[in-house]
A and B are shown apart, each in its own frame.
Chain A
Amino acid sequence: MKRFKGFITKEFYHIFRDKRSLFILFGMPIAQIMLFGFAITNEINNVDIAILDHAKDINTTEIINKISASKHFNINQYIEKESDIEAIFKKGKIKAVLNFENDFSKKLVKEHQASIQLITDATDPNTANTISNYLNAILIQYQKEINQDITLNYQIIPQTRMVFNPELKSVYMFVPGVMTIILMLVSAMMTSISITKEKELGTMEILLVSPIKPIQVIVGKVFPYIFLSIINAIIIVTLSLFIFKMPIQGSILLLGLESVLFIITALSLGILISTISETQQTAMMISLMGLMLPVILLSGFIFPISSMPLPLQLISNIIPAKWFIIIIKGIMLKGVGIQFIWKETLILIGMTVFFIVLSVKNYKIRLE
C-alpha cells in the first residue's frame, strides 16, 4: 500500500510539473463553457435578408416595417430585379429574399389575395425552414390585424407549457453536452496517452518488473486523472450554476456520483485504447479522431437522436456519452432521482465493466 501511494505521488508529480498541460486542462473547460454558453445557439436570429418590392405601397411598407422590427431578421439590402437574387446568394451573406408582387395593395383589396414570394438560400435547410416559419408567423399576425373586424368561430386555442426550460435557452442543451465531451475526451485521451507513453519509453517494463502489481500500475496511472476530471466537473457545474443560472433540480450528490461513474467509464475506455496502441501517436489519433465526432454528433449533444435514421439511433446506444447526457439533463433540469435513471446508470456500469474486462484480456495476450 505504501509503495502504491508512492507510485500515485509520482504520477501526480508528472502531471503537476507539466504546467502547460495543466493550464490547458483547467483553462479549457472554462474557456469552452463560456464560449458555448454565450455564443453557441441553435436559435435563428439576425438573419440577413433582402427585399425586392415591386409594389412599394402601403401594405408592403407595413409588412417590411414589421419584419425589420423582428429580432430574427435584419434587412440588409433592397434590390430592384429578380436577376440580382442569384448573385447575392452566391456571395453568401444574405439568406432570404422577400419578393412582393406588383400592385400588392390593389390586389389585396380587389381580389382579397396578394402574394409574396419567399426565396430562401436552402443550402442550410434548418435556417431556410426556420426563416420561412418566422416570416409566416409575422404575416399571419399582420393578416389578423388587417382582418380585425372578422371574427372566427370555433377555435381550439393551444396553451403550450414549455417544461424544464421555459425560456428555451440553448445553454441548457449545451452545458450537459460540453461537460460530457470534456470529461470523455480528457479522461480517455489522457489515460491512453500516459499509459502508451510508458510503453513507448520502455518504462512500463520497469514498472512491471517492480513489486507493484500490474493492476496497481494501471490504477495508479488512472487515479490522478479521476481526480483532475472531478475538479473539471466541479468547475463546469459551478460555472453553469452561477453564470448561466442553470438549475440543479435534483440531488447534487447523485449528480456527483454519476459524474464519477462516467469519468471511470471514460478512463476505462482510455485504458482499452492504450492496450491496443503501440505508440502515443496511435493512441492519440484513436482517442481524438475516433471519439471526437461520434461524441459530438451521436450523443444528442447538438442533434436530436430521435430524428436520426434508425441504424444511427441504434449505433448511438454504444456511445457512453449519450447515456451520460440523458442522466445529467435528468438530474439538473428535470430533477429526477435514481428511480428514473437507473437504466442509464446500469448501462454505463456495464460498459465500464466491459471495457475493463476487454483491457485485461488484451493485456494478458500481450504478456504471453
Chain B
Amino acid sequence: MKTILYIIQKEFKQIFRNKGMLPIIFVMPIMQLIILSNAATFEVNHIKFGYIDQDHSSTSRALIETFNASSYFNVIRHYPSENLASSAILRGDIDVLLNIPLYFERDLQKDQYNTLGITINAIDGAAAGVENVYVTQLIQRFNTRLKVELTQTSDQFVQPEIIETIPLFWYNETLNYKTYMVPGILVLLVTMITLFLSGMNIVREKEIGTLEQINVTPIKKNQFIIGKLFPFWVIGMGLLTVGLVLARLIFNIPFLGSLPLLYLYTSIYILVVLGMGLFISNFTDTQQQAMFISWFFVVIFILMSGLFTPIDSMPKWAQHLTEFNPVKYFVEVIRMVMLKGSGFSDILPNLLKTTLYALIMNGLAVWSYKKTN
C-alpha cells in the first residue's frame, strides 16, 4: 500500500511539472466543451435559399414572401436565369432553389393546380430531407391560403375527417440541442484525456529506460499499475466534475437523476478506459505507436457511440459492434441520468456490462504487463 502511494505521488509530480501538458489536460477540454457544444446541432435553419421568378405575378410574389417570412430560410437571393442559379448551387452560394415558371398564376387558375420546381442540394442527405419538409410545409400552408382567396364562395359540403396529432416532447420541450450534446461531449473529453494519458504513460517510461529500472525493483505488478493509473482516474473524475459544473452554469443543462449514481458509473467507466490505455501501452514500443492505436480506436468509438448519429439507424451488424464500445454505454448513461432522471435499475444493464468490461480490460492489462521477458 505504501509503495503505491510513492508511485502515485511521483506520477502527480510529473504531471503537474510538465507545463506544456497542463493546459492541454485541463484547459483545452473545457474550452472545447464550451465552444464545440454549440456546434453540434442537426437543426436545419438559415437555409441558403434562392429563387427565379419568371412569372412576376401576385401569386409568385406572395409565394416568395412566404419563404421570406419563414425563419428557416435565410439569405434570399434572386437569380434572373436558370444558368446563373445553377452555377450558384455549384458554387455553394445557395442550397435550395425555387423556380417559378412563366404563366404560373394563369395556369394555376385555369387548371386549379400547378407544379413548382424545387431544387435541393442533397449532398447532406439528412439536411436535404428536412429542407424538403420545410418547403413542402410552407407550400401547403400557402395552398390553404390560396384556396380561401381564390374560392371565396365554394362551401365544402362534406367535412373531412381530421386526425389531429398532439406532439409532446418530454425531457426537452424546446428541443434544445445543447441539452443533448453537452453531456455527450463531456463523455468524449473524459475518455480522450484518460485514454491518451494512460496509453502514453508506460510506453514513455519504456522509451526513456526508466521502466527497466522499475522492473528490477521488488515492486509488485499490480501495485505498480494501480499506482500509475490512479492519478489519471483522479484527473478523469475531476474533469467530469468541472464539466458538470459548467454544464449547469453555462448551458443550464438539467440534472434530474442522482449525482452519486453518475459518479459511481463514471468511476467504473474510467477503469475501462485506463485498462485499455495500459493494454495498448504494453503492446507498443514507442509513444508514437501507442498514440496512433489510441487514436484509431477513439475515432471509431466516437462515431459509433450514438453521440452524434443514432445507433438505432445503423444496420444490425453495426449495432452489434457497438456493444463493444464503452463510450456508447457512458453516453447512454449520462444522458439517461442527467436528462431523464433514470435510476439505478434503469442503468443496471449498462453498469454491469461496463463493470465486466473493466474487469476484462484490466485483467488483460495486468496480464500483458510483464516485468520479465
Q: Which residues of A contact B (CB under 8 A)?
A: 18, 20-21, 24-25, 28, 31-32, 35-36, 38-48, 63, 89-92, 95, 108-109, 112-130, 132-133, 135-136, 139, 142-143, 146-147, 149-150, 152-170, 172-173, 181, 185, 189-190, 193-194, 197, 277-282, 284-286, 288-290, 292-294, 296-298, 302-304, 306-309, 312, 315-316, 326, 329-330, 333-334, 336, 340
The reply to whether B24 and A189 form a contact with Cβ atoms under 8 Å apart is no
Pick from B29, B36, B288 the residue with the most CB of A within 10 Å: B288
The reply to whether B123 and A164 form a contact with Cβ atoms under 8 Å apart is yes
Contacts of A40 in B (CB 8 A): 303-304, 309, 314
Instruction: Report how far A32 CA is from B92 CA in the complex, Å.
Output: 28
Given known pairs A143-B161, A284-B196, the reply for A90 and B313 (CB within 8 Å) is no
Partner of B117, one of A143, A150, A159: A159
Q: Which residues of B contact A (CB under 8 A)?
A: 18, 20-21, 24-25, 28-29, 32, 35-36, 38-48, 63, 74, 87, 89-92, 95, 108, 112-130, 132-133, 135-136, 139, 142-143, 146-147, 150-151, 154, 156, 158-173, 175-177, 179-180, 185, 188-189, 192-193, 196, 200, 204, 284, 286-289, 291-296, 298-300, 302-304, 308-310, 312-315, 318, 321, 332, 335-336, 339-343, 346
Contacts of A279 in B (CB 8 A): 18, 20
Closest to B200 in A: A281
Q: A122-B175, A281-B200 are in contact. List 5 more A-B contacts (CB 8 A).
A: A112-B159, A121-B340, A168-B126, A281-B204, A302-B308
Please give me the 3 A-B residue pairs with the lowest Cβ-Cβ distance, nearest first: A168-B125, A39-B318, A122-B169
Contacts of B63 in A (CB 8 A): 156
The reply to whether A172 and B167 form a contact with Cβ atoms under 8 Å apart is no
The reply to whether A114 and B163 form a contact with Cβ atoms under 8 Å apart is yes
Contacts of B29 in A (CB 8 A): 289
Pick from B32, B128, B177, B313 the residue with the most CB of A within 10 Å: B313
Partner of B135, one of A121, A136, A158, A190: A158
Contacts of B313 in A (CB 8 A): 41-46
Contacts of B129 in A (CB 8 A): 43, 168
The reply to whether B289 and A45 form a contact with Cβ atoms under 8 Å apart is no
Partner of B312, one of A45, A126, A173, A330: A45
Given known pairs A32-B300, A172-B125, the reply for A154 and B143 (CB within 8 Å) is yes
Instruction: Report how far A303 CA is from B130 CA in the complex, Å.
Output: 13
The reply to whether B292 and A21 form a contact with Cβ atoms under 8 Å apart is yes
Instruction: Report how far A32 CA is from B21 CA in the complex, Å.
Output: 29
Give chain B nearest CB distance to A335 CB in angstroms.
8
Pick from B284, B303, B342 the residue with the most CB of A within 10 Å: B303
Closest to A281 in B: B200
The reply to whether A163 and B119 form a contact with Cβ atoms under 8 Å apart is yes
Contacts of B135 in A (CB 8 A): 158, 160
Contacts of A24 in B (CB 8 A): 289, 292-293, 296
Closest to B124 in A: A173
Pick from B35, B135, B169 the residue with the most CB of A within 10 Å: B169
The reply to whether A43 and B92 form a contact with Cβ atoms under 8 Å apart is no
Contacts of B180 in A (CB 8 A): 123-126
Contacts of A130 in B (CB 8 A): 130
Instruction: Report how far A18 CA is from B284 CA in the complex, Å.
Output: 10
Instruction: Report how far A117 CA is from B288 CA in the complex, Å.
Output: 55
The reply to whether A118 and B166 form a contact with Cβ atoms under 8 Å apart is yes
Instruction: Report how far A163 CA is from B152 CA in the complex, Å.
Output: 39
Instruction: Report how far A35 CA is from B167 CA in the complex, Å.
Output: 35
The reply to whether B315 and A38 form a contact with Cβ atoms under 8 Å apart is yes
Contacts of B315 in A (CB 8 A): 38-39
The reply to whether A326 and B39 form a contact with Cβ atoms under 8 Å apart is no
Partner of A28, one of B47, B196, B296, B336: B296
Instruction: Report how far A336 CA is from B147 CA in the complex, Å.
Output: 42
The reply to whether B170 and A122 form a contact with Cβ atoms under 8 Å apart is yes
Give chain A nearest CB distance to B67 CB in angstroms.
12
Contacts of A162 in B (CB 8 A): 120, 122, 128, 132
The reply to whether A92 and B298 form a contact with Cβ atoms under 8 Å apart is no
The reply to whether A285 and B292 form a contact with Cβ atoms under 8 Å apart is no
Closest to B318 in A: A39
Given known pairs A153-B154, A281-B204, the reply for A158 and B136 (CB within 8 Å) is yes
The reply to whether A280 and B168 form a contact with Cβ atoms under 8 Å apart is no
Instruction: Report how far A76 CA is from B318 CA in the complex, Å.
Output: 20
Contacts of A190 in B (CB 8 A): 288
The reply to whether B196 and A307 form a contact with Cβ atoms under 8 Å apart is no
Given known pairs A279-B18, A285-B196, the reply for A154 and B113 (CB within 8 Å) is yes
Give chain B nearest CB distance to A224 CB in angstroms.
13
Give chain B nearest CB distance to A91 CB in angstroms.
5
The reply to whether A170 and B125 form a contact with Cβ atoms under 8 Å apart is yes
The reply to whether A277 and B289 form a contact with Cβ atoms under 8 Å apart is no
Partner of B168, one of A120, A123, A142, A164: A120
A-B contact pairs, 7 of them (CB 8 A): A43-B125, A132-B167, A284-B291, A290-B28, A308-B39, A312-B38, A330-B92
The reply to whether A308 and B204 form a contact with Cβ atoms under 8 Å apart is no
Partner of A92, one of B122, B156, B204, B346: B346
The reply to whether B20 and A165 form a contact with Cβ atoms under 8 Å apart is no
The reply to whether A159 and B24 form a contact with Cβ atoms under 8 Å apart is no
Contacts of B44 in A (CB 8 A): 304, 307
Given known pairs A116-B164, A123-B339, A307-B43, the reply for A289 and B171 (CB within 8 Å) is no
